Structure 1
Amino acid sequence: MVGKKFTLPKLAIGLVLSLIALAMFIPVINIFARAFSHPDKVHELTGLGVIPKGFSLINFQVVLSNPIVGQAIGNSLFITIVGTCFSLFFTTITAYVLTRKNLVGKTPIMIFLIIIMIFEPGYVQEYFVMKDLHLLDSLWSMVLYRMVNVFYLVIMMRFIEEIPESLMEAAKIDGAGHMRVFVRIVLPLSRIPLLTIGMFYAIAKWNEFFKSSIFLSSPNKTVLQVLLRQFVVERDTSTLVGITELLKNSNVAQLDFNALKAATIVVAMVPILMLYPIILKYYTSGVMEGGVKE
């Protein structure tokens, strides 16, 4: 076995990539450190600090004790979980239909889908569609919004095409219809693409704030990303009803506003970050499956 040769260019590339990784990683850790720092010491934390100054959960207590934040988290979870399930089901079943060899009009359908992917509808048209469907100010507007992504649909089609046709033919000989073939054969054999595309759908649903701010107007229908922007970017503390009274009753004399922002950002980040360790190994194995041929 020949060892890897150490060269100066490899060292330079490694150092550059390490610096880029640190440039992206340190700000995230700094947000966590600021959120967990004690209110009396948080001002001592610099922009490059990664270790909390003291330790306190008061920032999270203030943020999470607000009823609007809890409602927003619940709305975001509903949109993400239900929306991802709907998107996965309809993306997969559409991909199955479009990969059938005897499908009439397959080429015009694919051309139409590609045109939709390239020329996306405008915001005004999407707003009036939601209005005509009576979905404005309803969480279902965000669940159904862009339920099928054409790019993910094409990826799923490629995976389904790799499933041996002999398996489906054997099931049809035994009397199975398309729906049974889809449920019993296609879905179990598409676990890796389902997990991968599901992660992409979940991230998009969780992070969507612009359309949420347009389609959802009631305070009890707001989502966490909209609340995060109002509080962190626009510094609108009126959205967090009750914070002033809570701070007056707190044992802490003053809470740092930047620390409260950091705690809000952490609350918005952690749920979606928890997906990566679970999905990453399946995503990696899925990429490597088609990379080497025997």
Structure 2
Amino acid sequence: MIIDAHQHFWHYFPERDTWMTDEVLQKDYLPADLAPVLAANGVDGCVAVQADQSERETQFLLQLANENDFIKGVVGWVDLKSPRVAERLEYFSQFPLLKGFRHIVQGEPDKEFLLRNDFCRGIANLQQFKFTYDILIYPHQLPAAVAFAKKFPDQPFVLDHLAKPDFETGELKGWEQHIRALAELPNVWCKLSGMVTEADHQNWQQDDFTPFLDVALEAFGAGRLMFGSDWPVCLIAADYPPMKKIVTDYIARLSASEQAQIMGGSAAAFYQL
């Protein structure tokens, strides 16, 4: 089974969605738009990930998942800094399709936001409800992410978009050091997703990503890597087929079982799909 471990749905609201500066994104993207794309590309299901930081967003994605069988799981949002976080997690634990949560840490000015006491108190509550957590950061926030993941050795974490390295310049050094440190922690997984949007949108080549994929594969192994499209955000730089081809071409040299892990097995295991 092939699983797209990272995509989004939204009703576009200009006042709310100010980060959507590209015209391609300034429209509604809903299951009816994605279903034929997945079918055409041989993808059996997906994980819908939050794009807005509200409980309303979580409920919206759960409703879509309940109405569309191909949405196998939801990564929502809850205020992890709230004193009432345990109460809210208990409430959300009634929804079997809700697999975990994410906060848009890349948008936080504090590069050590992940280590805030109030945020960590919230993270400490996730495990008892069997929720995962998606780490969305930029490379300069990787050192904090390593320290963060070490604080919660039994909490399942997955790094979104390889922490968005600089594919345009190909600069590996600082990023690689911290990726390898993160991969040493067995509770941390990684998504091969969101790559084309961090490259030259008009002129990227598949080879631009190879050095970074080499590091990720060597560090995490196939068992902790998962394919994700980041649809529809990826449409800024690539349609679904060439975006997916970056990963499938790269892993073609691996064994059939390793390819199956990256293209679906790892996501199914991590999110308990």
User: What interval of TM-score do these two structures reach, taking the shorter chain for normalisation?
Assistant: under 0.3
Higher strand proportion: 2
TM-score by structure 1 length? 0.22
- After TM superposition, the score normalised by the length of structure 2 is 0.23
Higher helix share: 1
**Bigger-Rg structure (1/2):** 1
Structure of greater relative contact order (alpha carbons < 8 Å, 6+ residues apart): 1
